[in-house]
Amino acid sequence: MPDSAPQVTIRAIESRDEAAWRGLWQLYNEFYERTVAEEVTAAAFSRFLDPTSTFSCAVAEQSDGALLGFVTWMPHPTTSSIEPALYLNDLLVHPDSRCGGLGRRLIEHVYADADAKGAPNVYWHTQHFNHRAQLLYIKVGRLTDRRKYTRH
Protein backbone atom coordinates (compact mmCIF):
# COMPACT_ATOMS: atom_id res chain seq x y z
CA MET A 1 0.00 0.00 0.00
CA PRO A 2 1.45 3.39 -0.96
CA ASP A 3 2.39 5.85 1.76
CA SER A 4 -0.38 8.47 1.90
CA ALA A 5 1.39 10.75 4.36
CA PRO A 6 1.85 14.24 2.96
CA GLN A 7 5.38 15.14 1.88
CA VAL A 8 7.16 17.96 3.68
CA THR A 9 9.64 20.35 2.07
CA ILE A 10 12.05 22.59 3.96
CA ARG A 11 12.44 25.84 2.04
CA ALA A 12 13.16 29.54 2.45
CA ILE A 13 10.22 31.56 3.68
CA GLU A 14 8.32 33.60 1.07
CA SER A 15 6.01 36.62 1.31
CA ARG A 16 2.97 34.36 0.75
CA ASP A 17 3.81 32.58 4.03
CA GLU A 18 3.24 35.56 6.29
CA ALA A 19 -0.20 34.66 7.67
CA ALA A 20 0.73 31.03 8.35
CA TRP A 21 4.10 32.04 9.84
CA ARG A 22 2.34 34.50 12.13
CA GLY A 23 0.14 31.67 13.42
CA LEU A 24 3.23 29.58 14.19
CA TRP A 25 4.98 32.64 15.66
CA GLN A 26 2.03 33.12 18.01
CA LEU A 27 2.35 29.50 19.21
CA TYR A 28 6.08 30.03 19.73
CA ASN A 29 5.53 33.16 21.81
CA GLU A 30 2.75 31.55 23.84
CA PHE A 31 5.04 28.63 24.69
CA TYR A 32 7.71 31.02 26.00
CA GLU A 33 5.05 33.11 27.79
CA ARG A 34 6.09 36.31 26.10
CA THR A 35 4.45 39.07 24.13
CA VAL A 36 6.18 40.47 21.07
CA ALA A 37 4.97 43.84 19.81
CA GLU A 38 3.38 43.93 16.34
CA GLU A 39 6.08 46.24 14.98
CA VAL A 40 8.76 43.75 16.09
CA THR A 41 6.91 40.85 14.45
CA ALA A 42 6.48 42.86 11.24
CA ALA A 43 10.17 43.86 11.26
CA ALA A 44 11.26 40.25 11.78
CA PHE A 45 9.19 39.03 8.85
CA SER A 46 10.48 41.88 6.70
CA ARG A 47 14.09 40.90 7.51
CA PHE A 48 13.43 37.34 6.32
CA LEU A 49 12.56 38.69 2.87
CA ASP A 50 15.29 41.35 2.69
CA PRO A 51 18.11 40.10 0.44
CA THR A 52 20.59 42.39 2.25
CA SER A 53 19.76 40.96 5.69
CA THR A 54 21.83 38.15 7.19
CA PHE A 55 18.76 36.97 9.13
CA SER A 56 17.21 33.85 7.54
CA CYS A 57 14.04 31.84 8.00
CA ALA A 58 13.04 28.48 6.56
CA VAL A 59 9.69 26.77 6.84
CA ALA A 60 8.51 23.18 6.78
CA GLU A 61 5.76 23.07 4.17
CA GLN A 62 3.40 20.15 3.77
CA SER A 63 2.42 19.16 0.20
CA ASP A 64 -1.01 20.76 0.74
CA GLY A 65 0.67 24.12 1.47
CA ALA A 66 0.27 24.06 5.25
CA LEU A 67 3.25 25.29 7.25
CA LEU A 68 4.23 22.88 10.02
CA GLY A 69 7.20 24.72 11.47
CA PHE A 70 9.97 27.25 11.02
CA VAL A 71 13.55 28.00 11.98
CA THR A 72 15.45 31.30 12.05
CA TRP A 73 19.21 31.85 12.12
CA MET A 74 21.99 34.32 11.46
CA PRO A 75 25.73 34.09 10.88
CA HIS A 76 28.00 36.56 12.65
CA PRO A 77 31.70 37.25 13.08
CA THR A 78 33.43 36.08 16.24
CA THR A 79 36.70 36.83 17.98
CA SER A 80 37.48 33.15 18.53
CA SER A 81 37.60 32.12 14.87
CA ILE A 82 38.32 33.49 11.42
CA GLU A 83 35.19 31.72 10.21
CA PRO A 84 31.81 33.10 11.18
CA ALA A 85 29.64 31.47 13.83
CA LEU A 86 25.97 30.83 13.17
CA TYR A 87 23.26 31.41 15.78
CA LEU A 88 20.07 29.36 15.48
CA ASN A 89 17.61 31.86 16.93
CA ASP A 90 14.12 30.28 16.83
CA LEU A 91 12.79 26.81 16.12
CA LEU A 92 9.19 25.66 16.22
CA VAL A 93 7.38 22.58 14.99
CA HIS A 94 3.61 22.72 15.34
CA PRO A 95 2.56 20.56 18.33
CA ASP A 96 0.49 18.29 16.07
CA SER A 97 3.57 17.55 13.93
CA ARG A 98 6.17 16.86 16.59
CA CYS A 99 8.12 13.62 16.99
CA GLY A 100 8.16 13.02 13.24
CA GLY A 101 11.63 14.33 12.46
CA LEU A 102 10.73 17.87 11.35
CA GLY A 103 12.73 19.56 14.10
CA ARG A 104 15.81 17.58 13.08
CA ARG A 105 15.24 18.42 9.41
CA LEU A 106 14.94 22.13 10.19
CA ILE A 107 18.17 22.03 12.22
CA GLU A 108 19.91 20.10 9.43
CA HIS A 109 18.75 22.80 7.00
CA VAL A 110 20.53 25.36 9.17
CA TYR A 111 23.62 23.12 9.34
CA ALA A 112 23.67 22.99 5.53
CA ASP A 113 23.49 26.77 5.31
CA ALA A 114 26.26 27.06 7.90
CA ASP A 115 28.43 24.74 5.80
CA ALA A 116 27.71 26.81 2.70
CA LYS A 117 28.71 29.97 4.57
CA GLY A 118 31.85 28.39 6.03
CA ALA A 119 30.49 28.67 9.58
CA PRO A 120 31.58 25.53 11.48
CA ASN A 121 30.19 26.71 14.84
CA VAL A 122 26.38 26.52 15.03
CA TYR A 123 24.86 27.17 18.44
CA TRP A 124 21.53 27.89 20.11
CA HIS A 125 19.90 28.28 23.52
CA THR A 126 16.71 26.91 25.01
CA GLN A 127 14.81 27.34 28.24
CA HIS A 128 15.62 24.89 31.01
CA PHE A 129 11.97 23.73 31.02
CA ASN A 130 11.86 22.92 27.30
CA HIS A 131 12.44 19.21 27.90
CA ARG A 132 10.90 17.92 24.67
CA ALA A 133 13.20 20.07 22.54
CA GLN A 134 16.20 19.02 24.62
CA LEU A 135 15.49 15.38 23.72
CA LEU A 136 16.14 16.36 20.11
CA TYR A 137 19.00 18.78 20.80
CA ILE A 138 21.11 16.17 22.55
CA LYS A 139 20.88 14.05 19.38
CA VAL A 140 21.88 16.80 16.93
CA GLY A 141 24.18 18.90 19.10
CA ARG A 142 26.41 18.96 22.13
CA LEU A 143 25.37 20.51 25.44
CA THR A 144 27.98 23.00 26.63
CA ASP A 145 28.75 24.24 30.11
CA ARG A 146 28.09 27.89 29.22
CA ARG A 147 25.70 30.06 31.18
CA LYS A 148 23.84 32.90 29.57
CA TYR A 149 23.72 36.35 31.14
CA THR A 150 21.65 39.26 29.91
CA ARG A 151 21.63 42.96 30.57
CA HIS A 152 19.58 44.07 33.59
**Per the structure, how many domains does the chain have?**
1
CATH code at position 76: 3.40.630.30
44 within a domain of the structure (yes/no): yes
91 within a domain of the structure (yes/no): yes
51 within a domain of the structure (yes/no): yes
2 within a domain of the structure (yes/no): no
For residue 42, CA distances in Å to 21, 45, 55 come to 11, 5, 14
Per-residue pLDDT tens for 38-52?
999 999 999 999 999
1 within a domain of the structure (yes/no): no
Torsion of CA 24, 27, 28, 33, to 10 degrees: 160
119 within a domain of the structure (yes/no): yes
147 within a domain of the structure (yes/no): no
- Residue 38: which domain range? 8-140
Q: For 23-32, 71-80, 122-131, 138-147, which range has the lowest pLDDT when averaged over its residues?
A: 138-147
Per-residue pLDDT tens for 132-142?
766 566 777 77
For residue 81, CA distances in Å to 6, 7, 128 come to 42, 39, 28
